[in-house]
Amino acid sequence: MRKVSARLTIPDILKMRAEGQPIVMLTAYDAVSARLAEAAGVPMLLVGDTLGIMVQGRESTIPVKLEHIIYHASIVVNNTEKAFVVGDLPFMSYTISPEQALENAARLMQEAGVSAVKLEGGERLAPTIDRLVHAGIPVMAHIGLMPQSVNVVGGFRVQGRDAESARQLLRDAQAVQDAGAFAVVVESVPSQLAAMITEKLSIPTIGIGAGPHCDGEVQVFHDILGLFEGFVPRHTRQYAKIGEMIREAIAAYVRDVQTHQFPTEANSFSMKEEVLAALRADGTENGASH
C-alpha cells in the first residue's frame, strides 16, 4: 500500500498563522534532538547552520558545508514523522548565482528529504528565491541579523535600529514575500520593527531576538536546554540546565567506576555452574600437562 506522509505541510503552517496560533520552531541536528523535539510537540524543525557552533564547536556558522547540513538533515528527517523539517543553505552555497542555489537546494531536498530550505538575505536574494520557488522548492527567508554575514556587519549586532536600516528591512521583508518565500525568519531586530514587518506581510514571520509580535518563534536546541554553556544570549530563555546535569551524571559514573561501586553483579551476566566447573577442570588439566 502507498505510504501517505503524515508530515505537516505549508498550508498547515499558514493555517496556524491565520488562526492566530503561534508557530513554534526549534533547531535539531541529530536523532536525539529530533525525536525529543517532535515528542514535545514542536511542529517545525530547523537543521540550522548553527550546527557549526553547537555540534562542531566552531566560532561561527561560516565553516559549515552543504554536506554537513545534508548529513544532519537526513538524520532529522529519518527520525521524525510529523515535523516540517527545514534545511539551512550554508555560507556560499546559494549566493554565487540562482543556478548554484537551485543545484544545492535540490540536493538538500533530494538527499536529505527536507520539506523546505532556508537562506539568509532580503531584497538582493529575491531573484534567487523566485528561481527556487518556481522550480518547486519551498523557501523560508531569513532577514535582520544574518550570521553568515557576521564578518561584513562586524559582529552579532541588533539590526534595523535607525530609520534607514529599518526601512531597508521593511523592503527586504516585502521583497522575499513577493519572490515567493512561504515564511521569513526575523533575527535580532527591535520588537517594534518586527511588529511592523509582521503587520505588513501576509506570510508568517518567525522571530528570534525579535520580540513577542511575530507569528512564531525559533530557538536553538542547545540554548533553551542549557547545553551551550559559553553564554546565555539575551534572545533566549533557558528551560533547563542539561549541561550541568550531564556533567554531574558523568562525574558520578567516573566516581563509581574508580571506587568499584559500578559495575556490580546486578549489571553482569552469569553462566551455568556446570559450564563453569568444566572450564575449571580444563584449567586443571592444562596446568597438569605443563
What span, in angstroms and rounded, lies between the C-alpha atoms of 124 and 249? Answer: 49
Question: Under the criterion CB under 6 A, does residue 220 sit at the interface with ligand KIV?
Answer: yes
Cis peptide before 263 (omega within 30 of 0): yes
Query: CB under 6 A: which stretch of 9-17, 42-50, 169-177, 269-277 binds ligand KIV?
Result: 42-50
The grid cell for 117 is: 530550505
Min dist. Cβ of residue 100 to ligand KIV (A): 20
Q: Which 71-130 residues touch ligand KIV, going by CB under 6 A?
A: 88
Cell numbers linked to 58: 566552531
Closest CA to 204 of 178, 185, 180: 185
215 contacts ligand KIV (rule: CB under 6 A)? no
Scanning residues 145 to 204, which ones bind ligand KIV (CB under 6 A)? 185, 187
Strand partners, 139: 117
Cα–Cα distance between 175 and 189 in angstroms, integer?
17
Burial per residue of 231-248, b for 16 or more beta-carbon CB atoms within 10 angstroms, e otherwise: eeeebbeeeeebeeeeee
Q: Are strands 139-144 and 183-187 parallel, antiparallel or unpaired?
A: parallel
Task: Give min distance, CB of 249 to ligand KIV, in A.
Answer: 27
Give min distance, CB of 187 to ligand KIV, in A.
6
Q: Is 27 in the site for ligand KIV (CB under 6 A)?
A: yes
Q: Nearer Cβ to ligand KIV, position 62 or 102? A: 62
The site that binds ligand KIV (CB under 6 A) totals a number of residues, namely 12
Residues taking part in catalysis? 187
Q: Whole-angstrom Cα distance, residue 64 to residue 49?
A: 6
The smaller minimum CB distance to ligand KIV, of residues 46 and 166, is found at: 46
In the shown chain, the binding pattern of residues 45 to 74 toward ligand KIV, with x for contact by CB under 6 A and - for none, equals -x-xxx------------------------
Residues that bind ligand KIV (CB under 6 A): 27, 46, 48-50, 88, 142, 185, 187, 208, 218, 220
